[in-house]
Structures are given as C-alpha cells and as structure tokens.
Amino acid sequence: MVVRELELDLDAFEGPFDLLLTLVLKEELDLAEVDVAGIVVAFVERLAERGELDLEACGEFLVLVAALLELKARGLFPDEEAELADLEPEEAAEELARRLAEYRRAKEAAAWLAERLEGEGDRFFRLGPAPLTPKVERRLADQEPESLAVALRLLAAEPPSVSLAHLELRFPPVSQFLERFRALLSRRRVFDLDAEVEGMSRIEQAVAFLALLELRRSGEVALEQAAPFAPIRVSRAEAVVERRDEWIARSA
C-alpha cells in the first residue's frame, strides 16, 4: 500500500495524498482548511479494506500526518505558541480540557440547531427579495470633489509619444545611384567606387554597391579590383571590349 497514493475526498481537497502534501508545502492550499481527521479516516478505511496490517505504510502515514498536524497547529495558533509553551503539564491538561469542553458545547449547540431546523422545516414564510441582513454601513471620510478632479486630470493627460528614431533606416533608391553612375560614366571612362561614395553613410554605400552590381549585370560596366579590399575600379563596358580586342589582336 502506497501512502502517498491514498485517494482523499475532503471538503477542501480531492485527490491523492502526495498532491495534498505538495500543495500544502507550496502554500497553495491553506492547511487550516484541511480536515486532517478526514485524512486519517480515509487511511484507516483503506487499511481495513486490505485486511492486513501494513506496518511500513502505517509508520510512513503516522510521520506524515503528525507533521501535517504540527504545521496546522502552528498555523492556527501562531500567537499562542509561546503562551502554551509556558504552561506546566497540569495547566496544559486543564487548558486542553477547557477547550475540548468549549468545542463540545459548540457541537451540542449545533446539534440542537439541526434538530430545531428539522422541526421547523415545515414553516414557510415570505422573504423579501433582499435578505433580512441589515446593511453594514461603511462610512467614508469626507471627500473633496476637487481632489478627484486633480487625480483624473493627471490620468487624462496625453502620454508622451515614444521616439522611434532609432528604428528608422532610410534606404535611398538604387535607381538614384544607377542614374548617378551612368551620368558619371558618360563624362569619364573610369572611376573609383571608393572615391565616389566617400563620406556617405554605410547604408548609402551598400545601395551604391547594389547599383554597381545592377550595372554589371546589364553589361554596362566592367569591375576590377586588384586585391581584396583594394579600391574597386569601374569602367565603361566598351572599354573592356576594346581592351579584350587588343588582347585578342596581340595574342593572335
């Protein structure tokens, strides 16, 4: 028999014992609401069903329930702990007996009420829509309407607009550079890209490079770079053709 798997059906909790323990330890379930006697009854019933005395399970259960009871007692009487610790055993017994008597009387009174209810169950009477409970008056201190207005005015103010400047990336159109490079090439046969884009932003330089690739694709320019990171030399396409002709002539 596994104590931790003991199924419980209490007012405050329904499920296996170990879940109850977990919830209590995580303080998600108020132990004060848990009927520990109900747990004991459930265990004893389970034990009786099995018909054999499982000493190991009993021992484990005893330890767990004792710990639960101690936790619960501490939770219920936080202030009285010190007070009770000072009591002599005899006084403590007296106190216990007094409390038991008090509780016993409350139970008897409840039994009397239950009996009374049974006897009076055939008395039907009219109840107004509102219960008879007298309204509890909760008086507020005198309030200034002006201070409410002040509070509202604070809330009603337009919030400052959030700056999105850091998110802004301006991409100049590629066409702008296409036109620029074509114009340049109509005046000069060759130019250095680095010299042309000097002083531009990183983004502008990138777009300029894209424009260059575009021109290369359409066969309008030839690109040359002597070494990695060396200046990129741009030349008009017919120049390349001419030079290739030269090369062909020379090699022939």
Partner 1 sequence: MDRPLRLITASPVDRLARTLEALLVVASQPLSAEDLAVAADDDVERIETALRLVADRFAEGRSGIVLEHVAGGWAFRASREAAEACGRLFERPVERGLSAPGLETLAIVAYLGPVSRPEIARIRGVAADSVVAGLLERGLIAEAGREDGAGGAIRYRTTPLFERVFGLESLSQLPRLDDLGESTDEIRTRLETVAERRPA
Q: Which of residues 127-166 bind partner 1 (CB under 8 A)?
A: 127-134, 136
Q: What b-and-e string marks burial along 226-236, b requiring 16 or more CB atoms within 10 Å of the CB? A: eeeeeebbbbb
Q: Which one of 44, 63, 91, 98 is in contact with partner 1 (CB under 8 A)?
A: 98
Q: Which one of 125, 161, 166, 250 is in contact with partner 1 (CB under 8 A)?
A: 125
Taking the least distance from each CB to partner 1, the nearer of 13 and 181 is 13
Alpha-carbon span 113 to 121, nearest angstrom:
12
Burial class of residue 6 in the structure, from the number of CB atoms within 10 Å of its CB (0-12 exposed, 13-18 middle, 19+ buried):
buried
Alpha-carbon span 237 to 219, nearest angstrom:
7
Alpha-carbon span 232 to 54, nearest angstrom:
90
Beta bridge partners of 221: 236
Concatenate the DSSP letters of all residues of 62-106 into one string.
HHHHHHHHHHHHHHH-TTHHHHHHTS-HHHHHHHHHHHHHHHHHH
Taking the least distance from each CB to partner 1, the nearer of 132 and 155 is 132
Burial class of residue 143 in the structure, from the number of CB atoms within 10 Å of its CB (0-12 exposed, 13-18 middle, 19+ buried):
exposed
CB of 21 to partner 1, least distance (A): 18
Q: Does 76 contact partner 1 by CB under 8 A?
A: yes
Residue carrying structure tokens 């309008």: 220
CB of 31 to partner 1, least distance (A): 9
Q: Does 62 contact partner 1 by CB under 8 A?
A: no
CB of 159 to partner 1, least distance (A): 37
CB of 17 to partner 1, least distance (A): 19
Taking the least distance from each CB to partner 1, the nearer of 133 and 143 is 133
Q: Which of residues 78-97 bind partner 1 (CB under 8 A)?
A: 93-94, 96-97
Instruction: Choose the binding region for partner 1 from 42-50, 107-115, 151-159, 164-172 (rule: CB under 8 A).
Output: 107-115
Q: Which one of 45, 74, 91, 103 is in contact with partner 1 (CB under 8 A)?
A: 103
Contact 203, 169 (CB under 8 A): yes
Alpha-carbon span 76 to 31, nearest angstrom:
9
Q: Which one of 32, 150, 203, 241 is in contact with partner 1 (CB under 8 A)?
A: 32
Interacting residues with partner 1 (CB under 8 A) = 11, 30, 32-33, 35, 76-77, 93-94, 96-114, 116-117, 119-134, 136
